[in-house]
Amino acid sequence: MLLIFYSLALLVVLIVSAPYWLLRMATTGKYREGLPQRLGRVPRALRNAVKDKPVIWVHAVSVGEILAAGRLVHTLREQSGCTVVVSTTTRTGQALARERFGPNSVFYFPLDFAFAVRAYLRALNPRMVVLLETEFWPRMLAECKRRRIPVAVVNARISDRSWPRYHRLRVLWRPLLRNFAVVLAQSDTDTQRLHALGAANAVTAGNLKYDIRVTAPATIIDTIRHHLPINARVLVCGSTCAIGAEHEEQLLLAALPAGVVTILAPRHPERFPIVAEMLDRSGRTWHRRSTWAVHPAPLASGSILLLDTIGELASLYAIATVAFVGGSLVPVGGHNPLEPAQFGIPILMGPQVHNFRGIVHTLRAEHAVEIVSAENLASALDHLFAHPDEARRMGAAARAVCQREAGATDRAVAALLKVLRRES
């Protein structure tokens, strides 16, 4: 009965919000791509890729989850004897997943209606479904239970923002979450919250994001290095975001130190033109990566390179002197500080870091990240660039944290293989 009520409520929400989504599809194309797949149309290439093969279905929402799941997916392909297919929700995640895992084994996650979910479960007939973080879709979980498909959750977390909502509805969640084959949580806090919601077998296994390593540097990185001034000081501002009229890029432009080359990487591709207009109005010298790369010119001190591409940011942190990780000066919740940390880069973030609460807490305990406000951002940047020894100590501490906390991927693979053996 609860599932029927949920499906009706979801349908009502979609109908009421249909004008907004239709407008977004018409004006940006953001949600138009993959719509047939979201409605249950299984791509022919995917059908062919899994034909007569045992399958593991891994679902990762967007870019951050795809990066975290990279080594997990490749290791499962090597060790499980299964074909591993990957679904995403966002367009940026889809593009990166196709690049990392191959286009024929990547698809859009279906809308949480019985007809759409069942179409994929029939076509894939997976031996196991693996969910990243908190992708708890009730219909999906119910249909897997009905078909006796084990569901595992890896890198599970319940954010500070989501916890009150989940806790209020714990009576509804308990029948669904108690059926997970295994739940591997990022931290002890996440484990406790999952237990309270009914996932009795949740255990703390660490965060996959500590295992992210850039194995193939972006092709543009050598070109950028070649065109930097001698002894250049480089600020990489990654995954910058906006909420309403509040744009992190505007705050950063007002705080940039003199003589620093800045690489500015907005989180969402649809904002590239908006940020380009900001840069035009700023009066600063700037270049758009996609056009600059065709005819590279020297990146003068004080200039800005707008990174209008997907999938290159993580490796470009390697050339930073200092990194700012975005989504943290506006109430988004922050993005992954481990991307610069792995290269031993000192990190600044704003106060809005609840999406990476545990990681930021660990880094702060080692003085490997500094939390700044919009008001003191400029002085914090000036200080780090003016005190390179202190910056290097921060960076070394960040790299040490990455090395110390690594290993969650190996633990996750071992647990998932155990489920497969148990269910076979």
User: Could you say which of 65, 135, 143, 249 is catalytic?
Assistant: 65
328 contacts 360 by C-beta, under 8 angstroms: no
Beta strand 242-243 with 246-247: parallel, antiparallel or unpaired? antiparallel
Percentage helix, strand, coil for the chain under 3-state DSSP, each rounded to 5 = 50, 15, 35
Position of tokens 């239970």?
Answer: 145
Structure tokens at 297: 């010119």
3-state secondary structure (DSSP) of residue 107: strand
70 contacts 98 by C-beta, under 8 angstroms: no
Q: Where are the domains of the chain?
A: 26-206+407-423, 221-405
Does the model's pTM come out above 0.85? no
Count the neighbouring beta carbons within 10 Å of the beta carbon of residue 85: 25
Q: Which of 136, 152, 146 is nearest to 201 (CA)?
A: 152
Q: Which residues pair with residue 348 across a beta bridge? A: 324, 370
Task: Quickly list H helices, 39-146.
Answer: 44-50, 63-79, 91-101, 114-124, 138-146
Assess whether the region 26-206+407-423 and the region 221-405 belong to the same CATH fold.
yes
List the pLDDT tens digit at each of the 424 positions of the chain: 566 666 676 666 666 665 655 566 556 566 667 889 999 999 999 999 999 999 999 999 988 899 899 999 999 999 999 999 999 999 889 999 999 999 999 999 999 999 999 999 999 999 999 999 988 898 999 999 999 999 999 999 998 888 998 899 888 888 888 889 999 999 999 999 999 999 999 999 999 999 987 767 888 999 999 999 999 999 999 999 999 999 999 999 999 999 999 999 999 999 999 999 999 999 999 999 999 999 999 999 999 999 999 889 989 999 999 999 999 999 999 999 999 999 999 999 999 998 898 899 999 999 999 999 999 999 999 999 999 999 999 999 999 999 999 999 999 999 999 999 987 6
Pick the CATH number of 221-405 from 3.40.50.2000, 3.30.420.40, 3.40.50.10880, 2.40.50.140: 3.40.50.2000
Q: How far is CA 269 from the centre of its chain?
A: 14
Distance CA 314, CA 340 (A): 7
Distance CA 47, CA 69 (A): 22
**Architecture of the domain whose range is 26-206+407-423:** 3-Layer(aba) Sandwich (3.40)
Q: How many residues does the chain have?
A: 424
380 contacts 348 by C-beta, under 8 angstroms: yes
Is 65 an annotated catalytic residue?
Answer: yes
Distance CA 190, CA 205 (A): 11
Structure tokens at 236: 């990489």
3-state secondary structure (DSSP) of residue 192: helix
Count the neighbouring beta carbons within 10 Å of the beta carbon of residue 414: 12
Distance CA 306, CA 289 (A): 6
Return the CA Rg of the chain.
22
Beta-carbon contacts of residue 88 (< 8 Å; ≥ 6 apart): 59, 60, 61, 62, 65, 66, 94, 97, 106, 108, 109
Sequence-ordered strand ranges (E) for 257-318? 261-266, 286-288, 304-306
